[in-house]
Chains A and B, each alone.
Chain A
Amino acid sequence: MLEKGKISPRQVVELIFITIIATAILIVPAVTADKAGHDAWLAAFIGSLFGIVTLYLAIKLGNKFPDKTIYQYMESILGKYPGKLASLAYVWFFLHIAAIVVREFGDFMTTAIMVLTPLSFFAISIIALSALAVIRGLEVIARMNEFIIILFISFFLLVITLTFNNWQLINLLPFLTDGITPVFAAAAVPASWHGQIIALAVILPFMTRPKRAFACGSTAVICSALFLTLGIAGTLAIFGPEMTASFRFPFNLLVRTINLGKILTRFEVIVVATWVSSVFIKTSVFYYCAAMGIGQIFNLREYRPAVLPLGIIIASLSILLFKDVVELVDFLTNSWPLYSISLFSLGLPLLLLIVAIVREKVFGHSFQEDKDGV
């Protein structure tokens, strides 16, 4: 085993939750409001529930191959070299997510807080931090997250509570003006975010009680769906859909409207600090998944030698992938959902499951006695 640590079901819930919500809350409100208008909150909720589908596939596969990560059982299912190729695709996917996360984080910081600081500075600093966490292993990331999730949830609820006096719930009306079609169109983006739960396929073998994995994963998905819906409903209620759609990072501006009695004001720095820490967790999780993938594909004794090179790849990708923030948001809105869902969140896991079932049922192959590829 490349990973000696074990994480508890509760830690899995927290890890998945932060992994999804950390950047979703930054980007998704504007995108869904742009496409679904008043019904953006509904789109976010429906889209989020897609996470359950990906989760179901990941758990089904995981149950067939206990103690194996997605990289290992792909070799069992697809055969050695096709399996390795598919594994490399997943490594690319996780690297891609990590790079996008780092870029979102950097663009957010340079837009909202530190306008003059170069993007590379944010990329390098968060990658350096994540690299340390990844070297220490999954258990360290999960434990760190136990602390960060308290900050995240309490500040999120604080922000919602403190802005509540400015909410105009009539901004959520009229309900379903143009029918359900725009809602589903907008739901693709939150769906792609919740499809990232496929990272669980890597983490699953390191869970102490794998039987509870589905309960854990669905708790995390539903929690993050509720938080995202609440956040979007808040931005809609305060700004209305037209304004929300025009904002770059609506939730940040929502925080900036807090002004209670001139005392409870200027919360954004605390909230940004919380985001930085949750983005750190999110980056670490995908960074870890990618490093674990390299370790298992190439049958390394340790994944640690892969960490630094991967970090450099993530940092440079985060800067090179997109020319500017417009391109980033355009990619996340129009290309990313199709690309990530069709291939990695739904397509490949479904294919794997079908092939596994066909091989078992039709060809009578038993994976339990299968020892190759480990």
Chain B
Amino acid sequence: MFKCWQLVLICFFIASLSVIPGCWDHSEIEEMALIRAIAVDYVEGERSPYLVTIHVVRPGGIAGSSESAGGGDSESPDRIFSATGATIDLALQNITFFLSRRIFLAHNEFVLMGEEAARQGIYPAMDFVLRDNELRLTNFLLIVPGAAHEILAQREQLETGLSEEILGMIAQADESSESDPIEFFKIMRSLSKPGQDAFAAVINAVPRQKPAEFATQNNGAAAEGNNATNTAKILYLSGTAAFRGDKLAGYLDKTETRGLLWLNGDVRHTTLAISDPLKPSEFVSVYITHSQTRITPVIKNDNISFLIDVKTEGNIYHQPSLSDLSATEMSEKLNSALSAVVKKEIEGSLQKMQELESDLVGFGNSIYRKDPKKFKKIKKQWPEIFSDLTFQVHVEANIRRTGQLAKPIPEH
């Protein structure tokens, strides 16, 4: 069947299998340090300003923690290492002196950037992620107001490992639409488009308050940094960092973030409180199920304005009061109350973006798409033009369903 030389060739190929798989690039799993997160900080005035902290999953740590799960305070499966360097990759190289394994970036999930690093510009991180053949474009970029490495020092709450915890929070962000964690390629896409600025989600470590401490405060939300005695912190993913070019311009708080998401048509689900039409002191909450946004530039000679049409739908989620809102005219009133709330959020967000001169929605880009020649003329002054723009916001809200209850159950 086979000739002699063919047999020799076949034997050679089979034998070579044991020597050459993966060629020069072979890497064994037990020689890798699996990196799950990178934190990038910028130390002003140093020769090697980038302080990079990597978050490594300790091999065996995951298995170990599940065994001792009943033992209460088990050891974290994570380890962090830091080093400084003139660029991100040089800092990573300096970290290798502390590591017993090769840095393996393919399983990295997100990059955290400290405020100072973000003010210096996010492009270096963009370049690093896009150019490297191990790092993935679907990494998330999160901005930390403060030092990024502090986030990695936190302990996980529910998951095995901090990276899983933060990934869970990212996946969870859809539920409230008050944070919009997006991937590197989407940020780079906004960054590269004419007439559009990029944004990224903000993560912060806030002091962890015991339930009793909430009671002493008027503000129900986890307030930011007013409790000096309590050192335990908890991660908090909310708000948006707005960029001008690749440099951090400022922050949008969570309501303004939702305004931005309305503008981008990215509100998935969220619960909004609107005042009860019959008893204005009470609230009715609406769970948003659907939203759609259309932005039309109106260009009249040198006068530019925008029409913003938002259509949204929701269900009544909760109604603490007893007022009967089941009549048709009541649902009209509820709809207009809801659209007023949405409109207010959008306008608040627009105002903030105009203050920051940061066009996160891409209004300039919509002019560019409609009239590229016109946009080329105003491109230079676009931030100033943007901050003086007028917007006409029109919201059409429809409450489609009322949940399991048709109307409140009267007490007797």
Contacts and interface: CB of A to CB of B under 8 A. Distances in A.
Co-assembled chains A and B: yes
Interface stretch (B130-138, B280-288, B317-325, B345-353): B130-138
B408 interface: no
A256 B369 contact: no
A239 B24 CA distance: 32
A364 interface: no
A174 B192 contact: no
**Interface SS of B by simple majority:** helix
A342 interface: no
Nearest to B190: A240
Interface residues of B, number: 21
Contacts of B400: none
B207 to A, nearest CB: 31
Contacts of B192: 240, 242-243
B210 to A, nearest CB: 34
A355 interface: no
Contacts of A171: 189, 193
B188 A115 contact: no
A168 interface: yes
Contacts of B137: 253, 256-257
A154 interface: no
A124 to B, nearest CB: 12
Interface in B97-148: 130, 133, 136-138
A299 interface: no
A256 B185 CA distance: 10
B46 interface: no
Interface string B182-210: 01011011001100000000000000000
B213 interface: no
B368 A118 contact: no
29 contacts: A111-B133, A112-B133, A114-B22, A115-B25, A115-B133, A116-B25, A117-B24, A117-B25, A121-B23, A168-B189, A170-B369, A171-B189, A174-B369, A177-B372, A177-B373, A239-B189, A240-B189, A242-B192, A243-B188, A243-B189, A247-B130, A253-B137, A253-B185, A256-B137, A256-B138, A257-B138, A257-B183, A257-B185, A259-B183
B19 to A, nearest CB: 12
B333 interface: no
Contacts of A174: 368-370, 372
Nearest to A261: B171
Contacts, number: 60
Interface in A42-80: none
Nearest to B188: A243
A240 B369 contact: no
Contact of B24 (A118, A243, A259): A118
Contacts of A117: 23-25
Nearest to B138: A259
A113 interface: yes
Contacts of B24: 114, 116-118, 121
A212 B319 CA distance: 73
Interface string B350-387: 00000000000000000011101100000000000000
Interface string B23-47: 1110000000000000000000000
A238 interface: yes
Contacts of B25: 113-117
A238 B185 contact: yes
A259 B138 CA distance: 7
A177 B368 CA distance: 10
Contacts of A112: 133
A180 interface: no
Nearest to A252: B133
A358 interface: no
A309 B343 CA distance: 74
Contacts of B183: 257, 259
Contacts of A114: 22-25
B203 to A, nearest CB: 19
A171 B189 CA distance: 9
Interface string A99-120: 0000000000001111111100
B135 to A, nearest CB: 9
A152 B137 CA distance: 23
B129 to A, nearest CB: 11
Contacts of A168: 189
A273 interface: no
Contacts of A118: 24
A150 interface: no
Interface in A218-276: 238-240, 242-243, 247, 253, 256-257, 259, 265
A244 B66 CA distance: 44
Contacts of A113: 25, 133
Listed from nearest, the 5 A-B pairs whose CB atoms lie closest are A242-B192, A114-B25, A116-B24, A173-B369, A117-B23
Contact of B185 (A115, A173, A177, A239): A239
Contacts of B22: 114
Contacts of B368: 174
A174 B185 CA distance: 21
Contacts of A256: 136-138
Contacts of B193: 171, 240, 242
A168 B186 CA distance: 10
A256 B139 CA distance: 11
A242 B22 CA distance: 34
Interface in B316-345: none
Contacts of A238: 185, 189
Interface centre among A116, A240, A259, A265 (most CB of B within 10 A): A240
B166 to A, nearest CB: 14
